[in-house]
Structure 1
């Protein structure tokens, strides 16, 4: 029997880890995620959860993150609580949340004290401007990675909904709640119809 080609093997996603993460693993993973990002950690969260630890598939991560948009509070904080609770219940949600929020909070307090003394230095201002550009690039990269499952499935209608939401919010500056109130039911209906069609 011929062995699969390297390209076919690369296209096949790695199997998910069947062992659910423990409380320490959840805390450590989200602490690493939070300390890796500047201006946003979505790209690092996806890399750790989907690619490094293989706790979720790319589709599961995108669906979970989309759900977190409808919960009150910052999306990535919601993701940590939802993700931790999925594997270890309330204790898992607390562990993931503590890992995401605790270490950066201590770091930010220390940096705020330093910035109070050296904030007027011109070189520091230029450095912070460069960091903000890098954070924007990482966010764009994460968006494209999260789009890939839709592209691979050729979900044209869902991609069109995504583009319409971007135009409505990013360009036309329409209110976010109203746009999501219209786009969410449409997206759910399209996904449901497509799954029923492939069942």
Structure 2
């Protein structure tokens, strides 16, 4: 049984090394910006119209923003991209036929969406975070597609991690994510702060 697991471990190790070793370049950066712009053109109108996204400035201070942004760079961005893109998907340089690669891409996408449902039912249970809300799952699915496409083209863990990170920060600090992930307590605290500033 242990010997059977060795090829799988070796395959994952190869994927990790290849993705970590693929650095960022200017063309990759432009690709990432274009992909984020495309995602924004889809996600923002839908999210605002469906009222899942709410314009909201959740930045308390530059220091707290910086520390929280660093934490979110590691998790969810780096952790989720390592698992759902790098470990699940063949590296583009492996030369896998496109149809088989797209099949693995579908597996990655489904796993990414289901993971957020599980998060909502476990880690964020009772917080009303909305991670199993169909509107959020559609937004997450679109993001997953964009990230899968970017990884297929570049094979860079760093690019998809930064893209994921930017989307998370924009949602958390600009469109209601902070209150959703913090639950009722965060909403109460924020309401009190707003009331105090208006006095």
Q: Do the two structures share a fold, i.e. TM-score over 0.5?
A: no
- TM normalised by structure 1 equals 0.31
Structure showing greater relative contact order (alpha-carbon pairs closer than 8 Å, 6 or more residues apart): 2
Select the structure of larger CA radius of gyration: 1
- TM normalised by structure 2 equals 0.31
